[in-house]
Amino acid sequence: MRPDQALRYDVNCSIMFTELALLQRPAAVRAAGFGAAEYWWPFAIAVPADREVDAFVSSLRDAGIQLVSLNFFAGDMAAGDRGLLSCAGRGAEFRDNVQLVAAVGEQLGCRSFNALFGNRDDVAAPQQQDELALGNLVYAMDAVARIGGTVLVEAVSGADRYPLRTAADAMAVIDRANQAAGAANCRFLADLYHLTVNGDDVAAVIAAHAPAIGHVQIADAPGRGAPGTGQIDLAAHLGQLADAGYQGWVGLEYKPAGATADSFGWLPREQRAAPIGSTPSTEGAAKTEGAASTEGAER
C-alpha cells in the first residue's frame, strides 16, 4: 500500500453534495462509502436558532458520520467575505459564534476548527487589523482548548484582499498566536490547491512545516476539480505527508463536474472509510432554512 492510500479522507459538504439539501448530505456521504465530513459554517448567520443547529447535529448522528472539521462563521462568503478575525466591529459576532462552534464540536467529537483571517479593508491599517485578528484568534484558541480543540489557519486563493497567500504568511500568524496564547493549539491547514494556485512549492512547504499541519484539504488545479483532472501531483504530496508522519484527515474540497456521487472514481471505495482502528484526530481535522449562503463561494 502506498503511503497516501493509508490516509483518512473526509468529504467537505459545503462544496460537495450541494445538489442536496443541507440535512441530506451526511447520508449521501455515508452512501458514497465515507465515514467523515467537514463543513464551512453551514448557516447564514453566526448564531442561528437552536432548532437549526439541533437538526444539523442530528443529520450527522443519524447518518453515522464523524464531523472532523468545522469553520467558524466567515461572514457572507458569496458576497466576498473571507472571515471575521480582522474585521473591526464584528468581534462580538465572531466570539458568540466561537462559543457555539465549540459547543457543536463538543457534541459531535469534532476537534479541528478553521478560522478565516478576513480581507484587508480601507478603514483600518493592516497592523491594526492584524492586532485585532490576533486577539480574536487567541480567544478562539482558549474557547476550543477546553474540549481539546485546535484552531486552524490557512492560506487562501481567489480573494484579492485576503492577506494570507502563502504557507509563510499563515505560519507567521500561527506562530504569533501560539506565543501570545502560551499554547500550541493553533495549527496550519495545508490546502494543497490554494498553495499551488498561489505559487507555493508544495513539496517544500510539507518538508518545512509538516509538524505544524493540523488538517489537509485537496483539489486539483487548474479548475479546482477532482484529483486527476488537473496537474497537481496529489498522490506524491499525500505520500510525502504520510512519510512525514501526518496522521490527520484529508478533506476533499473540490468542485465535482457533475453529481458529487459520480466524482469519487479516483478513490477506490475500500479507501474511502477511515482505516480500521482509526479515530478522529486533531493532529496534523434545494436548501433548508438557514443553510449557508457560503455555497457557491470560492474559498
Residue 291 in domain = no
The catalytic position among 253, 270, 283, 295 is: 253
CATH label of the domain that carries residue 160: 3.20.20.150
Say which DSSP state 6 is in. G
Share of the chain above pLDDT 90, in %: 88
Residue 283 in domain = no
Distance, in Å, from the CA atom of 240 to the CA atom of 227, rounded to the nearest integer, reads 16
pLDDT band at 83 (very low <50, low <70, confident <90, very high): very high
CA angle 227/230/233 to nearest 5° reads 65
Which residue bears the cell 473526509?
10
Residue 289 in domain = no
What mean pLDDT value characterizes the chain? 92
Whether 282 has a pLDDT exceeding 90, the answer reads no
Grid coordinates belonging to 145: 482548548
Does the annotation count 253 as an active-site position? Answer: yes
Question: Do 241 and 206 touch, CB atoms closer than 8 A?
Answer: yes
pLDDT band at 273 (very low <50, low <70, confident <90, very high): confident
Q: Which residues pair with 66 in a beta bridge?
A: 36
Residue 170 in domain = yes
pLDDT band at 278 (very low <50, low <70, confident <90, very high): very low
pLDDT band at 139 (very low <50, low <70, confident <90, very high): very high
**How does DSSP assign 68-93, residue by residue?**
EEEEPP-S-GGGT--BSTT-TT-HHH
**pLDDT digit string, tens, across residues 230-256:** 999 999 999 999 999 999 999 999 999
Grid coordinates belonging to 288: 433548508
Q: Is 142 helix (H, G, I), strand (E, B) or coil?
A: helix
Which residue bears the cell 486533531?
282
Residue 18 in domain = yes
* Residue 249 phi, psi dihedral angles, 5° rounding: -95, 155
Query: How many domains would you assign to the chain?
Result: 1
Is the link from the previous residue into 222 a cis peptide, with omega within 30 of 0? Answer: yes
Whether 281 has a pLDDT exceeding 60, the answer reads no
pTM (2 d.p.): 0.91
* Helices 234-243 and 202-209: angle between axes, nearest 10 degrees: 10
Distance, in Å, from the CA atom of 202 to the CA atom of 200, rounded to the nearest integer, reads 6
Residue 44 in domain = yes
Does the annotation count 93 as an active-site position? Answer: no
**pLDDT digit string, tens, across residues 193-234:** 999 999 999 999 999 999 999 999 999 999 999 999 999 999
Question: Do 71 and 114 touch, CB atoms closer than 8 A?
Answer: yes
Q: Is 154 helix (H, G, I), strand (E, B) or coil?
A: strand
Q: Which residues pair with 134 in a beta bridge?
A: none
Question: Residue range 57-68: average pLDDT?
Answer: 98
The catalytic position among 38, 52, 154, 283 is: 154
Distance, in Å, from the CA atom of 216 to the CA atom of 68, rounded to the nearest integer, reads 11
Residue 294 in domain = no
Q: Is 204 helix (H, G, I), strand (E, B) or coil?
A: helix
**pLDDT digit string, tens, across residues 91-133:** 999 999 999 999 999 999 999 999 999 999 998 999 999 999 9
Question: Do 253 and 114 touch, CB atoms closer than 8 A?
Answer: no
Residue 286 in domain = no
Question: Do 56 and 23 touch, CB atoms closer than 8 A?
Answer: yes
Which residue pairs, CB below 8 angstroms and at least 24 apart, start in 18-25? 18/260, 18/295, 18/296, 19/259, 19/260, 21/286, 21/287, 21/288, 21/291, 22/56, 22/59, 22/287, 22/288, 22/291, 22/292, 23/55, 23/56, 23/59, 23/288, 24/59, 25/59
Question: Residue range 259-280: average pLDDT?
Answer: 80
Distance, in Å, from the CA atom of 265 to the CA atom of 171, rounded to the nearest integer, reads 34
Q: What residues make up the domain containing 105?
A: 3-271
CA 247 to chain centre: 16
Distance, in Å, from the CA atom of 92 to the CA atom of 153, rounded to the nearest integer, reads 20
pLDDT of residue 285: 35
